[in-house]
Amino acid sequence: MAINPKKHEMPVQSAEERARNFGEVALGYTPEIAVAEAQRCLNCKNRPCVDGCPVNINIPDFISRVKTGDFEGAYDTISLSSSLPAVCGRVCPQETQCESKCTLGIKFEPVGIGRIERFVADWHNANFKGEIALPESNGHRVAVVGSGPSGLTCAGDLAKKGYKVTVFEALHTAGGVLVYGIPEFRLPKDIVSKEVETLKKYGVEIKTNVVIGKTLTVDELFEDGFEAVFVGSGAGLPRFMSIKGESLKGVYSANEFLTRANLMKAYKKDSQTPVMHAENVAVVGGGNVAMDAARTALRLGAKNVYIVYRRSMTELPARREEVEHAEEEGVKFEILRNPVEILGYNNPENPRDQKNGFVRGIKLIKCGLGEPDERGRRKPVEIEGSEYELDVECVIMSIGTSPNPLIKSTTAGLDVNGRGGIIVEESTGATSKQGVFAGGDAVTGAATVILAMGAGKTAAKAIDEYLLKN
Ligand SMILES: Cc1cc2nc3c(=O)[nH]c(=O)nc-3n(C[C@H](O)[C@H](O)[C@H](O)COP(=O)(O)OP(=O)(O)OC[C@H]3O[C@@H](n4cnc5c(N)ncnc54)[C@H](O)[C@@H]3O)c2cc1C
């Protein structure tokens, strides 16, 4: 049978329709499309896709099960390595991981591994009726700080081994960036809550509204009887550019803007949380977070949304699919531009003018590209005298985040690096403080869901070995 050179298209909401609603953009494969896409897999002997997956899912095995219609068997295979397949099938950068290694990809488009993974997870969630087998308790207690993908994975793996795990989460809902950052139109929140509910069935206790470092310290967790602590507190501290005008009303960090829109549902009429519904919005940055903020601003009713990025489209770090979706929806790209100042209203004749103190625009300078930096990316070089102004009422800064220093500053003996990341032993996640392990963005700085999950898995294994030894 001749191989289809292209991946089966993902059914999506039309760009016009979706740009004004928060429903999921990608609608998922049907069983027929999933089987047809699985049939493109060559089932090659050396299985390079498995090495491309940070948690080494047995991809050829789950795909061969999909070929025969054994969707639950495929789910079981994925579950051996990944605890969040419905999430990863939606947000993993497969194009730079498993799919980039696919043998079929040498000649044609690679197998749509992520799309098949998503199908399998959704099929399981819709159809699985069996009971989960609960492990026998081993009597040991472990505390997990943070309920993002690293914390949830670590908690799940330990609970399945019989540990009594308590997750402490600062926010009122569990899920980390999966609930407060990544928007509903890319990752519906009921998928995350289903994963959290499954963990609870395994006996994991989740305590929300507890800020470790304020409500309780790590040392107090040990005093309370926990024998090990996993810190998966993420990298939620936003960075700003230190340019004039950043304290004007109408300037948000992407994290604040997205938290208001996603977690607090500020787009709903009955939401208690306000968010600016501006007509003209500039988003500074070019990563996935910037694309999410820009597309959220559109859905909140903006007429013009600009991505301001200082390099060219080639260097844009966001996933290609997200950039294409943003372009289709009408996001405009101010490429090779750097912000110099955020401009505010200031009416000297009327100090009571209601607009005073609000954003009225952003001043940008044009850039060219110079020599490559240490990471091989060509450096932006500002072109003198090329400044111009863009009329916007809202500016969203999306230029990166760092780990919050709270846990470090309240935990004696916990070493961090110059960027605030907790220093760990790579193979175990063990920190400089005995019994404390860490992983995910809290260690690496802002990274990916699958890497955070992988770190949670590594630490769970190491905590198990540590507690059995002690
Ligand atoms: C908008 C956005 C879009 C993204 N898109 C993608 C994508 O498409 N694909 C991808 O792979 N990755 C994406 N990422 C990155 C990815 O989401 C993160 O790398 C991942 O969530 C990190 O997981 P984590 O468990 O380390 O931390 P987080 O998900 O950040 O979770 C940490 C949790 O710890 C809690 N916490 C922090 N401090 C404390 C404390 N002191 N006490 C108690 N709890 C605390 C926080 O409230 C949070 O819930 C995106 C990130 C953002 C912000």
Average pLDDT over residues 266-280: 85
> Poorest-confidence range of 53-62, 260-269, 302-311, 375-384?
260-269
pLDDT at site 372: 87
CA 4 – CA 253 distance, rounded (Å)? 44
Give the pLDDT band (50/70/90) at residue 421.
very high
Report CA(109)–ligand 1 centroid distance (Å): 31
For residues 112-133, b (16+ Cβ closer than 10 Å) or e, as one string?
bbbbbbbbbbbbbbeeeeeeee
Q: How many Å lie between the centroid of ligand 1 and the Cα of residue 438?
A: 14
Stronger pLDDT, 265 or 409, i.e. the higher one: 409
**Strands laid side by side in the 304-309 sheet:** 251-253, 394-397, 280-284, 304-309, 332-335
Judged by DSSP in three states, 188 sits in coil
User: 316 to each of 25, 292, 307, 392, 407, how far by Cα in Å?
Assistant: 21, 14, 11, 22, 33
Question: Higher pLDDT residue, 246 or 356?
Answer: 246
Q: How far is CA 197 from CA 16, 190, 193, 202, 203, in A?
A: 35, 10, 6, 9, 10
Per the CB < 8 A criterion, the answer to whether 238 and 256 are in contact is yes
Query: What CATH architecture does domain 15-127 belong to?
Result: Orthogonal Bundle (1.10)
| Length of the chain as a residue count | 470
Is residue 285 within 8 Å of residue 398, measured between CB atoms? Answer: yes
Q: Which pair of tokens denotes residue 207? A: 């305590």
CB 249 within 8 A of CB 357: yes
Q: Which of 55, 233, 292 to mutate to test the pocket of ligand 1 (most atoms within 8 A of CB)?
A: 233
* Cβ 400 vs Cβ 239: under 8 Å: yes
**Residue 134: pLDDT band with limits 50, 70, 90:** confident
CB of 216 sitting under 6 A from ligand 1: no
Nearest Cα residue to atom 39 of ligand 1: 233
pLDDT-based confidence at 414, cuts 50/70/90? very high
What are 189-203's pLDDT values in tens digits? 999 998 899 899 999
As a 3-state breakdown, the chain gives helix, strand, coil percent values, each rounded to 5, of: 35, 20, 45
Q: Where are the domains of the chain?
A: 15-127, 141-236+402-469, 240-399
- CATH number for the 141-236+402-469 domain, one of 2.40.440.10, 3.40.109.10, 1.20.120.80, 3.50.50.60? 3.50.50.60
| Per-residue pLDDT, 274 | 83
Distance 310 CA to ligand 1 centre (A): 25
pLDDT in tens, 438-461: 999 999 999 999 999 999 999 999
Looking at every residue in the chain, the average pLDDT score rounds to 94
* % of the chain with per-residue pLDDT over 70: 100
Q: What is the pLDDT at residue 195?
A: 87
- Segment 375-380 shows an average pLDDT of 86
Supply the pLDDT for residue 3: 85
pLDDT of 281-329, one tens digit each? 999 999 999 999 999 999 999 999 999 999 999 899 998 889 999 999 9
What span, in angstroms and rounded, lies between the C-alpha atoms of 32 and 200? 33
* 98 pLDDT above the threshold of 80: yes
Helices (H) then strands (E): counts for the chain: 18, 16
pLDDT at position 351, please? 85
Judge if pTM exceeds 0.95. Answer: no
pLDDT reported for residue 2: 81
For 313, how many CA atoms within 13 A lie in the half-sphere containing its CB? Answer: 8
The response to whether residue 166 sits with its C-beta less than 6 Å from ligand 1 reads: no
Give the SS3 label for residue 158: helix
The pLDDT, as a whole number, for residue 448 is 93
pLDDT band at 272 (very low <50, low <70, confident <90, very high): confident
- What letter does residue 204 receive in the DSSP assignment? -
Q: Pick from 53, 77, 51: which is nearest to 63 by CA?
A: 77
| In 368-432, alpha helices (H) | 406-410
Residues with Cβ within 8 Å of 370's Cβ and at least 6 positions away in sequence, in order, are 378, 379, 380, 381
Distance from Cα 389 to the centre of ligand 1, integer Å: 34
240-399 and 141-236+402-469 share a CATH fold: yes
Parallel/antiparallel/unpaired status of strands 251-253 and 394-397: parallel
Q: Report residue 351 as tokens.
A: 């100090």
- Which whole-number Å values give the CA distances from 250 to 258, 303, 356, 361, in the listed order? 14, 16, 12, 10
37-64 pLDDT tens trace = 999 999 999 999 999 999 999 999 999 9
Q: What is the end-to-end Cα distance of the chain in Å, rounded?
A: 58
**Residue 206 Cβ contacting ligand 1 at under 6 Å:** no
Answer yes or no: are the C-beta atoms of 459 and 251 closer than 8 Å: no
Let me know: does 370 contact 338? Beta carbons within 8 Å. no
From the CA of 148, how far away is ligand 1's center (Å)? Answer: 5
Atom of ligand 1 nearest to the CA of 176: 49
| Whole-number pLDDT of residue 257 | 96
Which residues lie closer than 8 Å to 203 by C-beta, 6 or more apart? 134, 137, 159, 164, 165
Binding site membership of 294 for ligand 1 (Cβ less than 6 Å): no
Tell which CATH architecture fits domain 240-399. Answer: 3-Layer(bba) Sandwich (3.50)
- Quote the pLDDT of residue 147: 97
Tell me the CA–centroid distance for residue 454 and ligand 1, in Å: 14
Quick one: pLDDT at residue 353? 87
